[in-house]
Each structure stands twice: as structure tokens, then as C-alpha cells.
Structure 1
Amino acid sequence: MSETLRNSVKTMVKETFEGPPVPIKGSWFTNSEPNSGIFGVLEGMSCDQASMSVHGTTLAAHADHIRYHMWGTNEILKKGKQPQMDWGKSWDIHSVDEQQWNRIQERLRNEYLTFLESIDTIEWNELLANEVLSSLAHSAYHLGAIRQMLKVVKV
């Protein structure tokens, strides 16, 4: 993969999780204020807010589902094959206490950092490029879903 394309992919992944760069020079697809990526949005949520059911799911479940998907992607990037995954189980979280909520966020951040490192180190091929881009799209989708849930949770 060309260095230009690799850097562009990393820019989009970073915006999804970290929000636009600071100082803000605009954004590609998130809101342009600081902390508008997944981490910034989740950081401001209490464990009670993260546990509030919105149409049958919670912010905690979304956050852990993103982590689970990213873990699967990281396994594919490391080993070249899909690990055994139970997608239904990735939505099992209905309520969290403060410690559990902090652990979910920490584990998500760790998978994200592993993902960023992998983008720089993998031997690119079509399968891995598709995997990286689908993980970006999946995470961006859930950022949008989380932001919509905030309209209910932060009332």
C-alpha cells in the first residue's frame, strides 16, 4: 500500500476514535469540535448513562461491540484468518458499574492502539485492506449510533 493511502487510512481511523486533530483544522466526517470521536463521546458518560437502555441496547454494549470487532480485526491482521467469534455475545452488556465501564473503555483504547500499529506494520494485500477499511466503516457507523443515543441518554 502506498504511504499516502496508509496515512489517509490512519487519519480517518484517528478521527473516528479521537475526533479531529487539535488544533482543529476542520474534520473529514465528524463534528469539528474537540472530543467528537468515540473516545471523547464515551469519556463524558457515567456508568449509569452507559447502562441506560435505548431501544434495547446501551452505550456500554456499543462500546464493547466496537472493541470486540476491533479485536477480531486485529487477530486477522496478525494471523491472517478470522478468529472464532460470537457476534450475539458481543451485545450482552446491559449494565455496568464504574469499574466495568472504565475497563471497557480501556480495552477499546488498547485494541485501537494495536490497530493503528498494525496499519503501519502489516504486509498489505486485498484481504487485509478490506479488513482495515471495513473496521473503519464499522467503527464510524457505531460512532453515529452512539451520538444518536446521546440524544436520549443526556436528556
Structure 2
Amino acid sequence: MNDMLRESLKVLLKETFEGPSGNGSWYTESKPGSGIFGTLEKVSAEEASIPVQGTTIAAHTDHTVYYLWMANTYMKGDKPELDWSKSWKIFSVDENTWSRFKVELQNEYTTLLENINSFTSLDQQTLNSILGSLAHSAYHLGAIRQMTKAVKIPSQT
């Protein structure tokens, strides 16, 4: 894979998941914690379970884990059986499940970066899978950030 393409993909994926580095950003808010991981860290299991327009932050998070797993599986050359509706059936999570979702998301993201680093060349399907993961993740980041505005429970301090 072209080194410039590889680095660009990693920069944009890192901004999506980890938030922007430095003082600027390519497309997210230029504040620390504005990526998926920083956003989810500020959301409790209770808040992640509050329905907004028929879905929850927990469902968006589980769906993000699911499609990253699918993309990573395809990149390894395997063809998984898919049930896209499965991840949207999450309505409520407890603290343990919510923590597990966030760990699984981190693991799939790390695997995606490892896959990108391992490729010496790309076929069209693999490149589409990587770019699709970036676009899909950016979409869910925006959805989750908007949902947090509706579910935030004031602290009791």
C-alpha cells in the first residue's frame, strides 16, 4: 500500500476514534475527547440505554463493534455470516456490558489499524472496506455525539 495513503487513513481513523491530535482537526471538533472513545467515556450505562428516536447509544456502539469486526474478518480473507439486525436489538446495558462494549470497540479499532499496517498492496474490495469503515465510523460518531445531548443526566453533586 502506498505509504501516503496508509498514513492518511490512519490519521482520519485516529481522529474518528481517538479524537484530533494537536490543535487542529480534519473534520471533528478540535477538542480533546471529541472522538468516539472520548465521547463514550462521558456516557454512563444508564445514559447509553436511554432511547433517542428509537435507538440508543449502546446500540450504536454495539453496531460499530459489529461492522468493524465484519470488516476485519473480511480483511483476513474470511467471509462471516452476517446478521446486521442483531446489533440494533440492544436497548439497555448495565455497567459491565457497557464497559465490555467499549473494550470490544477498542479491540476492533486496534485490529483495523493493525490490518492497515500489514497490507503491502490493496485490492478494490479491501480498500472499499477500509474507506467504508472510516465513513461508517464518522457517521456513528456524529450520531452518538448528537444523542449525548439528549441523554445527558445532570450530575447530583
| TM bracket (short chain) | over 0.9
Match of 2:13 in 1: 13
Match of 1:57 in 2: 55
Q: What's the RMSD between the two structures over aligned residues?
A: 1.0
| One-letter amino acid matched to 1:61 | A
Query: How far apart are residue 151 of structure 1 and its match?
Result: 1.6
Separation of aligned partners in 2, 1:82 and 1:30: 33
Kindly, what percent of the aligned residue pairs are identical?
Answer: 54
Q: TM-score, normalised by structure 1?
A: 0.95
Separation of aligned partners in 2, 1:67 and 1:104: 8
Once the two structures are superposed, the pairs formed by residues 28-107 of structure 1 within 5 Å of their partners are 28-79=26-77, 81-107=78-104
- Contact 2:49–2:91 under 8 Å retained in 1: yes
Q: TM-score, normalised by structure 2?
A: 0.94
| One-letter amino acid matched to 1:100 | T
Q: Does 1:130 align with 2:146?
A: no
Separation of aligned partners in 2, 1:152 and 1:31: 18
Separation of aligned partners in 2, 1:52 and 1:101: 13
| One-letter amino acid matched to 1:113 | T
- Contact 2:52–2:147 under 8 Å retained in 1: yes
Query: How far apart are residue 73 of structure 1 and its match?
Result: 0.2
Which secondary structure does the structure 2 equivalent of 1:35 belong to? coil
Query: How far apart are residue 143 of structure 1 and its match?
Result: 0.4
The counterpart of 1:146, out of the listed 144, 147, 156, is 144
Separation of aligned partners in 2, 1:126 and 1:25: 34
Q: Which blocks of at least 5 consecutive residues in structure 2 are unaligned?
A: none
| Runs of 4+ displaced beyond 2 Å | none
Q: Deviation string for 1:76-127 (max 9, x for gaps)?
A: 1101x54111001111110000000000000010000000000010241111
Separation of aligned partners in 2, 1:11 and 1:25: 14
Q: Which blocks of at least 5 consecutive residues in structure 1 are unaligned?
A: none
Aligned length: 152
- Contact 2:43–2:148 under 8 Å retained in 1: no
Match of 1:108 in 2: 105
| One-letter amino acid matched to 1:93 | I
